[in-house]
Amino acid sequence: MLNRVLLVVVLVPLAVILIVLAVANRVPVAFTLDPFNPGNPALTLQLPLFVMLFLALGVGLVLGSFATWWKQGRYRKEARNKTREVQSLMREISDRKPVPPAPVAPSVGSVPATRH
């Protein structure tokens, strides 16, 4: 249910906005890598503006994901170490000989009397 609400409330309006943005920005623009000679055709790329915006969005998502993954590396390492420790303790427990349970003496009067 939460997935459907998320889809309707967030993703559908976002898709509509992106489609409108793409339709409104179809004119090719120049993207140059040489700030001192912007007319250099070898370092200039002509693409529609919406393509450049989507590429920038994609690059930002990839870089942000990588930065998050890198920053959380120590927590993943801690979790792996804890998992290994737990597995080691579980093996140690399973290697021990089982101790038989102590016999339980029946208590007097614990069984209810039946009527005939």
* Pairing outcome for strands 44-48 and 28-32: antiparallel
At 52-91, the pLDDT tens digits run 888 999 999 999 999 999 999 999 999 999 999 999 999 9
pLDDT at residue 115, rounded to an integer: 65
| Cα 104 from Cα 58, distance rounded (Å) | 68
Identity of the amino acid at 66: F
Is 0.85 topped by the overall pTM?
Answer: no
Give the start-to-end residue ranges of the domains of the chain.
Answer: 15-94
Structural element, H or E, at residue 112: none
| CB-CB contact of 55 with 31 (8 Å) | no
**Residue bearing tokens 């920053």:** 71
- Mean pLDDT over 88-98 rounds to 85
pLDDT at residue 80, rounded to an integer: 95
| Cα 50 from Cα 24, distance rounded (Å) | 8
